[in-house]
Every structure is written in structure tokens, then in C-alpha cells.
């Protein structure tokens, strides 16, 4: 029997119990029938019990609990799954976790905490699947070139109106009350909403996930790689999530899809009226800690992923 983490032969401690001589991991002997049932569930895209991911992958119960999950793709060294999880302390606050493992060790993750973002992720994946071929060759159109639906036109008008009211009257975009002017931002005394002013008094404020246009763009704070095109699925002043097809600067022919999750610390802006941009950041944005490399290299994985997320959406009643 081989260790799932080290891929070396394990030593027998007692009949049915094995230990890895390298990492000291202890495992029970596999139940062939149970393993066969699990393989059938994997092939048919059914839910597996959350305990499977705690036992077979590096998901630590100390921080989060997996209730159930669907495996999207699996090989001897890699595992990609979508999970329904909750924190170890708040059992009622559930979220969706996309998890990547390499040699059953953490390789990437992307978390979704609300139904609007989950809906946006599914829509974005559908658009990516339609606009790219198996080699990730782009055939779509960017937001400004796409024919706009009436819904998108209405969203643009609504955002323009909010910006106009903020600039002219300091109107809160959330509760419509007048905001108080601070050094580099407005703050609503009624609901606590904050609007940051950048450049020529350009208002930056939280945009509801329902209001996002979900059109293709290339303006992302991406380091090291070059974006071909992508879609923003969540945008707040301090948090930004997107799906983007990227390539390395040295090899534009090698492309893949990546799930991005950025955050930025606005405390300096609010307190001192200035923004610090440190090493490895763009526009103040930094990659969320622990995200690692949530990549999809094979476009054929997108359809099973969409179906799995739709099942999770239904299960959570989102």
C-alpha cells in the first residue's frame, strides 16, 4: 500500500493499519467496495461525503469542515473538487470552496460566500466556455465591443447616475443620504457606507454583485502573467474576484484559466488620505493569502465544473 502524500510503500503497524516511513502518516487498508462506490460517484458527478476530503486530501478540520463535495477531475497526483464547507465554529455560515490538490497537498482554492457571486461564477464559466477553444484561443469580444443588452444598458445608466450624485451632492449610493467629506473619501453617517475618491475625484464604491455586467475585460491587477481576457464576478473596494485566461510573458502560446481573488488594505487611504503600493501589488491589490494556484488547464473540465456548481447551488437553495 502506497502513501497518498509521498507515493512510497507504507509499513504495516498492525493488520489493516499502515504507516508511511517518510511522513509518518497512518492509513487504514482500503475498502475495495467502498472505493468502487466512490469511483462511481466521481464518474457520475454525485456528492461525496465531506469526510472523504478530510481523509484523502489536506483539508484541516481545525479551520473548516467539509460537509459534502463533488470531484471534478482526479488522477494519481491531482485532485480538483467543489465543496460545501463551513468554518469550524460557525456551522450555519456555509460557503462554496473550489479546491485543487497536488499529491493530495493544497495547491489552490477559491471561496464563494454568497449566492450572487456563485451565480456570476457559473455565468462567467459559461461565457469562457463559449468564447475559447480547447487551446484557449480567444474568439469573443471585449465589453466595449459586445452588443449590449437592455439589462446591461440599464446597469450602466444606474452606475453613472450613482457616480453623478456622489460627485455633485455627496449622495450615499446605498441609502441616498448625504455623506460627510473626509480627507480622501466620503463617509455616510447614516449607514456607514464609504466612497473613496481617486484621481480627478473619481468615486470608487462597492458594486453589488447583481449589478456587475459580466463582460470580458483585460484590466486586472495581474502580476507575472498576461491576461488574454476575463470576467469580474465580484467587486468591492477591498475585494475583487475574477476568472481570467492568462499566459506567461515568455510563452504566449501556453494559456490557461485562472481563478483570481485579490484584496487591498484601505486603512491608509481612510486614515491618511494616501495609498501605499508595495512590492508585488498593482493598484494596491494583493492576492488573497492561501489562494495558491487555482488553475484549469483543460477546457473540457469547465462543463463538469458548471454542472457541479449548479448542483451545489440547488443544494444550498442559492
Phi/psi of residue 46, each to 5°? -90, 165
Q: Is residue 128 part of a domain?
A: no
pLDDT profile of the chain (318 residues), mean per 10: 78 84 78 62 79 86 92 90 92 94 91 97 97 90 65 82 88 91 85 79 85 91 93 94 95 95 80 50 78 95 96 96
pLDDT for residue 100: 96
**Strand 78-87 relative to strand 64-74, pairing:** antiparallel
Whether residues 148 and 287 share a domain: the answer is: yes
pLDDT score, position 66: 95
The answer to whether position 270 is within a domain reads yes
* Residues 22 and 167 placed together within one structural domain of the fold: no
174 falls within a domain: yes
* Domain co-membership, 148 together with 4: no
Nearest to 302 by CA among 243, 219, 236: 243
Residue 187: Cβ within 10 Å count: 16
Q: Are 308 and 82 within 8 A, CB to CB?
A: yes
CA dist list (Å): 230 to 103, 114, 119, 216 = 29, 21, 16, 5
The x, y and z cell numbers of residue 232, run together, are 469580474
CATH number of the domain bearing residue 2: 2.20.70
Are residues 150 and 286 located together in one domain of the fold?
A: yes
* 14, 42, 68, 79, 243 from 76: Cα distances, Å: 26, 14, 21, 8, 27
User: Is residue 35 one of the residues assigned to a domain?
Assistant: no
The pLDDT value given to residue 296: 97
Cell 492568462 belongs to 246
**Is 312 part of a structural domain of the chain?**
no
Helix, strand or coil for residue 313?
helix
Domain count, the chain: 2
pTM surpassing 0.85? Answer: no
Residue 171 in any domain: the answer is: yes
| Long-range pairs of 81-89 with CB within 8 A, sequence gap ≥ 24 | 81/53, 81/57, 82/305, 82/308, 82/309, 82/312, 83/50, 83/53, 83/59, 84/50, 84/312, 84/315, 84/316, 85/50, 87/63, 88/61, 88/62, 88/63, 88/64
- pLDDT of the residue at 37: 64
Domain extent, residue 261, equals: 137-292
Q: Please report whether residue 165 resides in a domain.
A: yes
The reported pLDDT for the residue numbered 295 is 97
Side by side, which strands form the sheet with 26-28? 11-14, 17-19, 26-28
Residue 260 lies in a domain: yes
Amino acid at each position: 500500500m502506497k502513501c497518498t502524500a509521498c507515493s512510497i510503500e507504507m509499513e504495516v503497524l498492525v493488520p489493516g493499519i499502515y504507516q508511511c516511513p517518510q511522513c509518518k502518516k497512518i492509513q487504514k487498508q482500503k475498502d475495495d467496495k467502498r472505493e468502487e462506490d466512490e469511483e462511481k460517484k466521481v464518474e457520475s458527478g454525485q456528492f461525496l461525503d465531506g469526510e472523504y476530503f478530510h481523509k484523502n486530501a489536506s483539508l484541516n478540520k481545525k479551520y473548516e469542515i467539509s460537509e459534502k463535495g463533488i470531484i471534478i477531475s482526479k488522477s494519481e497526483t491531482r485532485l480538483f473538487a467543489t465543496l460545501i464547507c463551513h468554518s469550524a465554529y460557525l456551522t450555519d455560515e456555509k460557503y462554496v470552496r473550489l479546491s485543487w490538490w497536488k499529491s493530495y497537498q493544497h495547491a489552490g482554492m477559491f471561496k464563494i460566500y454568497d449566492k450572487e457571486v456563485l451565480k456570476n461564477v457559473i455565468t462567467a464559466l459559461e461565457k469562457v466556455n463559449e468564447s475559447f477553444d480547447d487551446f484557449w484561443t480567444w474568439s469573443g469580444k471585449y465589453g466595449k465591443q459586445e452588443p449590449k443588452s437592455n439589462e446591461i444598458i440599464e446597469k450602466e445608466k444606474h452606475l453613472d447616475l450613482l457616480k453623478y450624485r456622489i460627485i455633485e451632492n455627496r449622495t450615499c449610493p446605498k441609502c441616498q443620504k448625504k455623506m460627510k467629506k473626509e480627507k480622501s473619501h466620503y463617509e455616510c453617517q447614516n449607514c456607514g457606507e464609504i466612497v473613496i475618491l481617486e484621481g480627478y475625484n473619481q468615486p470608487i464604491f462597492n458594486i453589488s454583485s447583481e449589478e456587475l455586467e459580466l463582460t470580458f475585460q483585460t484590466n486586472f491587477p495581474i502580476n507575472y502573467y498576461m491576461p488574454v481576457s476575463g470576467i469580474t464576478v465580484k467587486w468591492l473596494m477591498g475585494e475583487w474576484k475574477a476568472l481570467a485566461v492568462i499566459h506567461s510573458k515568455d510563452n504566449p502560446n501556453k494559456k490557461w484559466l485562472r481563478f483570481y481573488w485579490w484584496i487591498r488594505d484601505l486603512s491608509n487611504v481612510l486614515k491618511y488620505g494616501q495609498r501605499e503600493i508595495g512590492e508585488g501589488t498593482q493598484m494596491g491589490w494583493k492576492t488573497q493569502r492561501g489562494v495558491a494556484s487555482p488553475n484549469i488547464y483543460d477546457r473540457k473540465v469547465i462543463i463538469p465544473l458548471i454542472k457541479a456548481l449548479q448542483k451545489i447551488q440547488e443544494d444550498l437553495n442559492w
